[in-house]
Each structure stands twice: as structure tokens, then as C-alpha cells.
Chain A
Amino acid sequence: MDTNNTSRKEFLATLVATGLTLAGCSAKKTPFDGIGDEHTKPSGEKVKLLSVDGEVIEVDKAFLKPVPEMPAVSNSEARIGIAGKKFVMVIDLSRCKNLKKCQEACNHMHHVHSELNWLKVYPMQEGEHTAPYWQPTTCMHCDHPPCVKVCPVDATFKRQDGIVLIDSDRCIGCRFCMAACPYSIRVFNWEKPDTLSKELCEQPYSCETSMPQKVGTVGKCDFCPDMARKNELPHCVAACPNGTFFFGDVNQDSVTNGAETFRFTDLIRDKSGYQLMDDLGTHPSVYYLPPVARNFPFEKGLENDHEKI
């Protein structure tokens, strides 16, 4: 593990240590590098800060530096998950018209290989005379995940908060999980993603951002746990102009698409929510609301469907 990837605790400890001692603290490369060396002179202007153990401390302003991005959590923390949460997604099929803004945002934010999609929008039709509809499909983050069962090296794992993630630094690329997943949601990096910048390539891999994707390993929708840590919505949820996706926490019994918030149990009960292929015993964390009283006709979505046959 790279030194950039120090755990959150360690990071906060460094913050406190730096604030209190003002001395050349750890040799580790943190955003606070350079603090305490002779080039920084105290400005005399003090600011009050709250330390992790709840004490108010005073620090000279000259020793403060903006933190551009929180460093990624450690691998062991990423494997445990966010305490007290149980994430859930609800996809309202009556609102989707295959705009694929979700897919675009997901691919862009995760730097997914240009041939691959973590989120797919399928044209579905149950029977000959039944109405077709568009079905955005993410990873189901199953509570009994078949992919996790078959993984020989614990590279894909289930967290306490319900999210199924992949450790691309450990994946051996056997693709058994892809065969096991009945939702065909997993993709494989057959080559190095063509969308990766050199800078991103050099970053250490984080299970929570699922970046950077690595050649010869499996990738998939991760429910954006890095966003959840910041109390923000997954990229697909935020990107959909029609509010198709709702994301939330079962423990709080609430889901939101950013504009509207519902009680999860009410929404599922009132709109007859269902899970995809739950007869397989996978216990998905993604629920669908049936495509009734639709906002758009199915045909509207065909304009955006550039499928070559």
C-alpha cells in the first residue's frame, strides 16, 4: 500500500499531531507535507479547530493548508463498509426513456473503458403482447451474491453496508464471478482502459472509487461508496434528469433521487416494487417499480439506442 493511502484514522491523527506540536511531524507524504519546516513562518493569526477527541484547539493560520480531496480509505476499511448503513436503490421504470445520462456519468466518473458499460439500459419485453420498457440495470449488490461465493481469492466481497466491491489489486482475472452473475453486470478489462489518464494510472487503486481500473481484472458498478462517504448520491442517480434512480439507506427507511425523497417501505409497497430474478435466491439490493403510468412512450427511447445488430 502506498503512503498516500494512509487510513483515515491515521490521517486525522496526523492532523491533530500537526496542529498541536507544529513540529516536523511524520515523514509520510500527506497533504500537510512541508508544514513545520523553516520556510513557514507563523502569521500570528490563530484559528480555532475541533480535534478528534472533542477538544477545541488553536492553530496558527499559516500552518493550515487546504485539503483538495479526502484520501481514500484503507483497503481493510473499504472491506468493512460504512457503519450503520444498508444501502438500497429503487429504479422507477415508468420514468426511464433510455437517455443514458446515467451511463454517461458512470462511465465518465469511473473512467470505464470506452467499449464497456457498468450500467446498461435494456429494452425489455416480457411477452409477445406485453408492453416494452427500458430497464436501467446496475449491480444488484445482492445480499447472497453468487459472485462473492465463487471468488477464489476474496477479491470481490460483500460489506456490512450491503455493497459488493472488487479489489482490483487482488483479482486474478479468472472470470468465474462473471459466469456466476445471473445479471451479466460484470465487465472485464480485456485491455488497459483507454480512458485512463497517466496521472490516474499512477494512483493507488481504491476499492471504494474502483479506480483506476486495471487490465486483466473484473470491474462493475460499485454503488459509489466514495460518494456515500461524502453524503452524496451515486453518479447515475445524480445524472438522471428524469429522477429514475432513488438511492438510500434501508436502516433510515428513506430513498431519494435528489429532488424527491420517499419512505422506502411505502414506496415499494404502494408502487408494487420488485426485485430482478429474486427467485434465484440472490436477494438483490436494487428494487424496481413497474413501468405503469409512464412519463414517456417506449419509442421515445429508441432514438438514443444505437445498437448495431
Chain B
Amino acid sequence: MEKTTSINIEQIPVGPKVKLNGKPAQVVLTDEKIIKDLLPQKFGKKGMLWVGFLLLVCAIGLFAYIRQLKYGLIVTNMRDYASWGIYISNFVFFVAISLVGSLITAVLRLTGVHWSTPLTRIAEIIAVAAITFAAIIIIVDMGRPERFYNLGLYGRLQSPIIWDVVVITTYFFISLILLYIPLLPDMKILLANDPEKKGFFYRIYKFLGSFWKGTLLQFRISKKAINILCITIVPVAFSIHTVTSWLFATTYRPGWDSTNFGAYFISGAFLVGSGGVAVAMYVFRKFYKLENYITDLHFDKMGRIVVMLGMLYLYFNINEYMVPAFKMKKSEEAHLMGLFTGEFAPVFWTAIFGGMILPMIILLFKRGRKPFPMFVAGSMVVVGAWLKRYLIVTPTLLHPFLPMHNVPASYKHYFPSWEEWAIAFGSLAGALLIITIFARIFPIIPIQETITEQHEKNNK
């Protein structure tokens, strides 16, 4: 028999008036209640529908990709001028949103912010899922995916693509470990609370975490490891998105030829990541009934962070667009006018207003930082960010230095084919599927840390 008690799971009844966000909480959070509330829950009817829907979207995406493998990239609507399309913008989006893992887990932890504890695992699984699909989508974009191993055989360090491969791989593994280590104490709780002590999940927990006994030494080592990882992940996170921005900024093209690109991309990445966390917080809170753990206070604080990051990103956007527009160099003019008033103007202004300014206005008000408005604002930020990535990638390519000539008319415009849409949405669904399945197997809010913090709060 497994021992069910450990040094940290003591059964101390909590006083009736636990203060959360200045208001008396209605519930008493005992250890049993925390464990009971936060254990992974079976999919309900809605959950099953959701998983089924995601699987369907993934399947359609897979079918489209099989067609692409069979016929070549001709099934896309990318052509010689728009040689990068929504695959690459989707890749940039994934890399961007994955940065939130480092923000919530590492930056806030290192700066001694405690309220973010319940959000760390949400942020970290978003990071892992997004970075996984960033890697997948870049392979999808390759003309010869079966030659991927050439990167190892003939890789040349001078190419920013190799830098990207190196830093993204590093980030993936650090994120994975940063997801795993804080999961160990929870794994012990999961093992202890499995009623049947068998089954697939039980075996997973046992395989991944049975060595965790919860001794003081283990806690000390794990704390140290997490600290080291938090420190290392910050520069790596900055690198992944800086290098991703360099895929564009190391070329001469109007709209990409910018020294600001790294900072511009990172600020945008933190914004979309926080927006994504806001959406995930709302969804998990609603469907897993986590109102006692993800409280209004968390939404309020996250809302403030989103506003701050929105301002930062807006600042970089003004730099990126206003300064070249002030000069209106001949080579930049067609590109900029295409965004401001031309064929990309509807998407451009949707991204600027819908994805940045409007959500910021909503979140500036206290009532706007309540859960549901936060969900709406977060969704706007995420959708706006996806569109923004498209605007960064494709319009520039459609404004080359030399005129577009001696090519079929279809080469001069770009609108993704159904295969591209299917694959792009398939990849988004795939990332959501990873998050969904993770939340089915593991507690999405760290149980052990919640208990520890609750004890600290009671002792005060």
C-alpha cells in the first residue's frame, strides 16, 4: 500500500474566513477539498464533443497534408513571390504564444510574484503544445520534408534557420522539464488518490513519478532545479523569438529590414501569450469549476499584465510603421500603402484595433478585468495576433524590389488554398488537443503548490 500522508499534506482545517481579493471567501479550502477539486476530471459530454471536434479538424488537416505530400506544394496557393504564406505566419504565431511559458513561470517567479502560481502549469503546457506545433508546421512548409536530416548532415551555422533549430529545440526541452519537475509532487498525490490503483493513467503516473517520495531533500533539489531552469529559460525564450524575427530581419525586404524586429517580436509574443492564458484561465475555470483557485484576483492581475504588454507592443508597432511611413521610401511605399489603405488594410486595421487597442480599452476598466470580459479581450488579442503574423509575413513578399512580371496572374496575389487552411487549423487544433489531453491526465493547477500556499496563508 502506498502511504497517503507526507510532510506537506497535513490535514489542518482552515479558518472560516479566508480572504481572497479583499472579500470573504465562501468556502473553506481544506487539503482534501483542494485535492478533490484539482484532480483531473473525466470528460463530460461537452468535453467529449470538444475532443471529437479537435480530432476531426486534425484529421482534415492530416488529409490535406497527405495531399500536399503527394502532389507537392502546388496544392497551396503560395507561389514564387508569396513564397511564404500562412504556414510560416502560423509558425511565428506558435513560437510567439509559446513565450508565455517563460513569462508566467520564470519571469514572475523570479521577481517574487506569488499570485501567478495557479497559472504556471496552464502557461507551461501552452508553451509546450505551441512549440511542438511550431516545429511540426515548419516541416509542413518544407518542399522536401524527407530531407530534414540534411540540417544535421550539412547544417551551416551561419544560417539563421540553424540558429532557430538550435534554440527552439533547447526551449522545447527546458519547457518540458519545467512542466515535469513541478508535476512530481502532484504525481504522488495522483498516485495516492487513484481509487483502483491500476489503469492506463495510473501507470503513466507511476512511470513518470513513482521515484518521488516527497522528502525534504527531494523538495530542496526540485526547488533548486526549478530556479536554475527559470533563469536559463529567460534568455532562451528571448532567443527563440529574436531568432525567429531574424528569419525576416536578415533580409533586405521592405517591412522586414528593421533593427527593431527582435524586440518588436518579443513584445508581441508576450502579449499574445498573456491573451492566450487569459482565454485558457476562463475556459478551465468554467469547465473544471475552479472558481476557488482561479479567482477574480487572477483575472484582474492578468488583465493588468495584458494592458501593459499591449502598450509595449503598440509602442513597437508605432515604431515599425510610423517611422518608415514618415519617410515613405520608394521601396517601402507600396508595402506600407498596401497595409494602410490597400488590399491588406481591412486585416491590418482589424489587427491593430481589434487585437491591440480595443482589448486594452476593455481591460483598462476594473469591470473589464472580470472573467468574461477578460475571455473576450483575450480572444481578440489572440485572433488579432494571428492576423498580425500573417501581415508580417506575406504582404512584404508581395512587394519585391523588381516588378512582378513574366509570371502567371495567380502569382501576384495570395489567398491560402483549402489545404493550407485545413493544415493551419489542424495544427491549431492539434495544439489545443495536447492542452486538453494534458488537462485530462494531469492537474492543470498545481495541487501541491496550492496546498503549500494555503498553509502559508493560514499561518499568517
Report A's interface with B, CB cutoff 8 A.
103, 115-117, 120-124, 137, 146, 149-155, 170-176, 178-180, 182-184, 186-192, 215-218, 277, 280, 307-309
Q: Which residues of the other chain, B, contact A178 by a CB distance below 8 angstroms?
A: 80, 83
Are B160 and A150 in contact, CB atoms less than 8 angstroms apart? yes
Binds A, one of B140-148, B264-272, B276-284, B422-430: B140-148
Q: Is the CB of B154 within 8 A of A170?
A: yes
Taken together as a complex, chains A and B put the C-alpha atoms of A146 and B182 apart, in Å, by: 45
Q: Which residues of A contact B251 (CB under 8 A)?
A: 146, 150, 179-180, 182
Say yes or no: B252 contacts A184, CB within 8 Å: no
A-B contact count (CB 8 A): 142
Within B233-255, the residues touching A (CB, 8 Å) are 247-248, 250-253
Binary A-proximity of B143-180 (CB < 8 A = 1, otherwise 0): 11101101101111011111001000000000000000
User: Which positions in B face A, CB cutoff 8 Å?
Assistant: 71-74, 76, 78-81, 83-84, 141-145, 147-148, 150-151, 153-156, 158-162, 165, 247-248, 250-253, 397, 400-409, 411
- CB pair A152–B80 under 8 Å, yes or no, is no
The answer for the CA separation of A187 and B408 in the assembled complex, in Å, is: 13
Q: Are A188 and B406 in contact (CB under 8 A)?
A: no
Q: List 7 A-B contacts (CB under 8 A).
A: A120-B406, A173-B144, A173-B147, A174-B142, A174-B143, A174-B161, A216-B142
A149 contacts B144, CB within 8 Å?
A: no
Residues of the B chain whose Cβ atoms lie less than 8 Å from the Cβ of A189? 72, 143
Contact B72 A190 (CB under 8 A): yes
**C-alpha gap A192/B406 in the complex (Å):** 20
Specify the chain A residue showing the minimal Cβ separation from B160: A150
Query: Which of A152, A154, A191, A215: most chain B Cβ within 10 A?
Result: A152
Residues of chain A within 8 A of B400, CB atoms compared: 184
Can you name the residue of chain B whose Cβ is closest to the Cβ of A183?
Answer: B402
Whole-angstrom distance between the alpha carbons of A30 and B374 in the complex? 73
> What is the predominant secondary structure among interface residues of chain B facing chain A?
loop
B250 & A180 in contact (Cβ 8 Å cutoff): yes
Contact assessment for A153 and B155 in the assembled complex, using a CB-CB cutoff below 8 Å: yes
Contacts of B165 in A (CB 8 A): 152
- Which chain A residue has the least Cβ–Cβ distance from B159? A152
Q: A171-B143, A308-B409 are known contacts. Are A150 and B161 too (CB-CB below 8 A)?
A: yes
Q: Which 3 A-B residue pairings sit nearest by Cβ, starting from the closest?
A: A173-B143, A216-B143, A191-B74
CA A103 to CA B406, docked complex, whole Å: 10
User: Which residues on B sit within 8 Å (CB–CB) of A190?
Assistant: 72-74, 76, 78-79
A228 → chain B closest CB, angstroms: 25
B161 proximity list for chain A (CB < 8 A) = 150, 152, 174, 176
Interface contact A191-B71, CB-CB below 8 Å: yes
Is A216 within 8 A of B73, CB to CB?
A: yes
Which residues of A are found within 8 Å of B142, using beta-carbon distances? 172-174, 216
Write out the residue numbers on chain B whose beta carbons fall within 8 Å of the beta carbon of A152: 151, 155-156, 159, 161-162, 165
B contact residues around A309 at 8 Å (CB): 409
Chain A CB count within 10 A is highest, among B79, B83, B404, for: B83
Whether the Cβ atoms of A122 and B403 lie closer than 8 Å is: yes
The listed residue (A115, A175, A179, A217) touching B253 by CB distance below 8 A is A179
